[in-house]
């Protein structure tokens, strides 16, 4: 179990929370729930209702669609933040890869943080935009590869 000081140090290293004032983080960290997960244990499933995000305190998780891994996150990584803002169903599943401990931050906590420090909203927007751009770039590359395959163009092998 993480003590309050360790939680505070962890949150200070997470990009999205670097704009928060120290006094707000000191109020925020005690209310976050610590959630342990065993290897292969789901944290949430695609299409689950989502009103919280998670910060990896230890271990490693994967974000995936079935067997296709989209991202992996280790200590200081965060995930699940999209559902905080649109209250939509989870767009992918999250599963622990190894023994993992996450801190759960609810929608109510994040909205309070944005009200207290509006700069955090800018950080969140930047992070979401970066993730969307990465997904768009990957989609464009996949579409180009599919087009070359359809047209019979030779596709170079990927270097490892």
Q: Is 47 contained in some domain? A: yes
Q: Is 76 contained in some domain? A: yes
In whole angstroms, what is the distance from residue 21 CA to residue 91 CA? 31
Paired residues of 103 in beta bridges: 34, 55
Q: Is 159 contained in some domain? A: no
In whole angstroms, what is the distance from residue 56 CA to residue 40 CA? 15
> Whole-prediction pTM value?
0.76
Residue 103 pLDDT: 96
Q: Look at the chain and report how many structural domains it folds into.
A: 1
Q: Is 158 contained in some domain? A: no
Buried b (16+ CB within 10 A) or exposed e, 90-115: bebbbbbbeebbbbbbeeebbeebbe
- pLDDT tens, position by position, 73-125: 999 999 998 877 787 899 999 999 999 999 998 888 878 877 877 877 777 77
Q: Is 156 contained in some domain? A: no
Q: Is 97 contained in some domain? A: yes
Q: List the CATH number of the domain containing 83.
A: 2.60.120.10
Better pLDDT: 116 or 63: 63
- Give residue 31's domain range: 4-150
Q: Is 155 contained in some domain? A: no
Q: Is 10 contained in some domain? A: yes
In whole angstroms, what is the distance from residue 32 CA to residue 115 CA? 18
Whether 54 and 78 have beta carbons less than 8 Å apart is answered as: yes
């Amino acid at each position: 179990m993480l003590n309050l000081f360790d939680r505070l140090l962890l949150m200070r290293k997470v990009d999205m929370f670097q704009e928060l004032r120290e006094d707000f983080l000191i109020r925020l960290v005690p209310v976050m729930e610590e959630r342990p997960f065993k290897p292969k244990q789901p944290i949430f499933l695609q299409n689950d209702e989502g009103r919280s995000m998670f910060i990896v305190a230890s271990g490693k998780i994967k974000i995936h669609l079935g067997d296709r891994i989209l991202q992996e996150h280790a200590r200081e990584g965060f995930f699940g933040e999209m559902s905080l803002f649109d209250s939509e169903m989870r767009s992918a599943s999250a599963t622990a890869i190894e023994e993992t401990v996450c801190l759960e931050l609810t929608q109510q906590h994040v909205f309070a943080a944005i009200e207290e420090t509006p700069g955090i909203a800018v950080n969140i927007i930047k992070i979401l935009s970066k993730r969307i751009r990465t997904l768009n770039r990957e989609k464009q590359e996949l579409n180009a590869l599919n087009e070359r395959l359809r047209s019979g163009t030779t596709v170079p092998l990927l270097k490892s």
